[in-house]
């Protein structure tokens, strides 16, 4: 099976812009979660989608949003970018049940200038 694919791998934006990141999960996986990883805060949960519905959301401002399509592919959007949004954004997919591991993509490295 192909793994989780995230595009693009690297992105450079300036403050105030918006960005859309894409994630293609493993075939058959219905759950997609997004995480932000920074040196200071570590790995933080953004949100999880299951069958096109947001099931859970982390403690991030409304500038961070996401969606999931009928083929389970997911996108996350960050509007009005701030310097502090510079991070590695990781997407993970799973079948969506509790005792199943998540499978991560290699992430999108977002740099804000």
Partner 1 sequence: SQQGEEDPQALSIQEGENATMNCSYKTSINNLQWYRQNSGRGLVHLILIRSNEREKHSGRLRVTLDTSKKSSSLLITASRAADTASYFCATVFNSGAGSYQLTFGKGTKLSVIP
Q: Which of residues 18-37 bind partner 1 (CB under 8 A)?
A: 33, 35
CA 96 to chain centre: 16
Candidate segments 13-21, 38-46, 60-68, 69-77, binder of partner 1 by CB under 8 A: 38-46
For partner 1, the closer CB: 75 or 95:
95
Phi, psi of 25 (to 5 degrees): -80, 175
Q: Cα-flanking dihedrals φ and ψ of residue 46, to 5°?
A: -95, -65
> Does 12 interact with partner 1 (rule: CB under 8 A)?
no
Alpha-carbon span 43 to 45, nearest angstrom: 7
Question: Running DSSP on this structure, what letter comes out for residue 9?
Answer: S
Find the shortest distance in angstroms from Cβ 104 to partner 1: 4
Binding site for partner 1 (CB under 8 A): 4, 6, 33, 35, 42-45, 48, 50, 55-56, 58, 90, 92, 96-107, 109
């Amino acid at each position: 099976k192909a793994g989780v694919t995230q595009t693009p791998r690297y992105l450079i934006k300036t403050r105030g812009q918006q960005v859309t990141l894409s994630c293609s999960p493993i075939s058959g996986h219905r759950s997609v979660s997004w995480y932000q990883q920074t040196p200071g805060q570590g790995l933080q949960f953004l949100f999880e989608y299951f069958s096109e519905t947001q099931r859970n959301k982390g403690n991030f401002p409304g500038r961070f949003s996401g969606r999931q399509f009928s083929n389970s592919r997911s996108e996350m959007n960050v509007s009005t970018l701030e310097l502090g949004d510079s991070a590695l954004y990781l997407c993970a997919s799973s079948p969506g049940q509790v005792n199943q591991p998540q499978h991560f993509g290699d992430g999108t490295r977002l740099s804000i200038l």
